[in-house]
Amino acid sequence: MDDVSRLFDAMADAYDELEPWYEHLYARVHAIIRQALPRPGPPGSAAALDAGCGTGFQTALLDSLGYRAHGVDLSSGLLAVARARLRAAAFVHARLESLPYADGCFDAITCCGSTLSFVPEPATAVLELGRVLRPGGRLLLEVEHKWSADLAWMAASSLAGGALGYGVPGRTLWRALARPLGEGCVLPYPGYGALRLFTAAEPGGPGRGSA
């Protein structure tokens, strides 16, 4: 078991207790999913994958839209909650860089909740998602963007000696920001360990169809 698996296993029981800003995020993401994903003809005639499904919060949305819902996650703890929540869906324990599915078997795939920020090889994961998506299918990504208000608050906290509780040393932050503008970075984030922040030029960046 790696550090990311341990992190999410430890928070599995309380994972659905989202902060208010997460509630706003998911309301926006789910509105985009409802708008962007075509409804299947007869219910169950198309399959959809929730990549990085967590507790099945979003898998349930795919099910409600009429898809045969599938979910994949690397946390056994989160998957246990998901299976109890949505017994009709097929949940699998696996990494996104090596998906246990046949080529082109899904009509739609969602990968949200900052999932790619915790994947060691996000470019490989995006290629895998493309492999299991049928030609003409729809892939929706949502990622943590490097140039964001959160990064500004992190910088302000660092300048104020950690007053805002981000706990990122100034030297670590400035080293990350000194990288080329179009290049992402990895920074420590309170409660979540290392978090990858993306730019438009990277897999899943805002220029590549993220929510």
* Residue-wise pLDDT tens digits, 32-50: 999 999 889 888 899 999 9
DSSP summary character for residue 38: P
pLDDT at 175 over 60: yes
This prediction has a pTM of 0.83
Instruction: Please give the helix or strand (H or E) that residue 3 lies within, else none.
Output: helix 3-10
Looking at the domain 3-142, which fold is it? Answer: Rossmann fold (3.40.50)
Amino acid (1-letter code) at residue 52: G
Instruction: Return the SS3 of 211.
Output: coil
Q: Convert the pLDDT of each residue in 86-105 to its tens digit.
A: 999 999 999 999 999 999 99
Give the per-residue pLDDT at 124: 94
Work out the average pLDDT over 8-20: 75
Average pLDDT, the chain: 84
How far apart, in whole angstroms, are the C-alpha atoms of residue 95 and residue 92? 9
Predicted confidence (pLDDT) per residue in 116-127, tens digit? 989 989 999 999
Q: Where are the domains of the chain?
A: 3-142, 149-197
* CA 86/CA 98 separation, integer angstroms: 24
Element (H, E) at 187: strand 185-189
Report which secondary-structure segment, H or E, holds 44: none
Residue 197 phi, psi dihedral angles, 5° rounding:
-110, 130
Q: In the prediction, which pLDDT does 162 show?
A: 65
Residue-level pLDDT at 24:
79
Q: What DSSP state is assigned to residue 97?
A: T
Which pair of structure tokens corresponds to residue 147? 């140039």
Residues in the chain: 211
Q: For the residues 50-69, what does the mean pLDDT come to?
A: 96
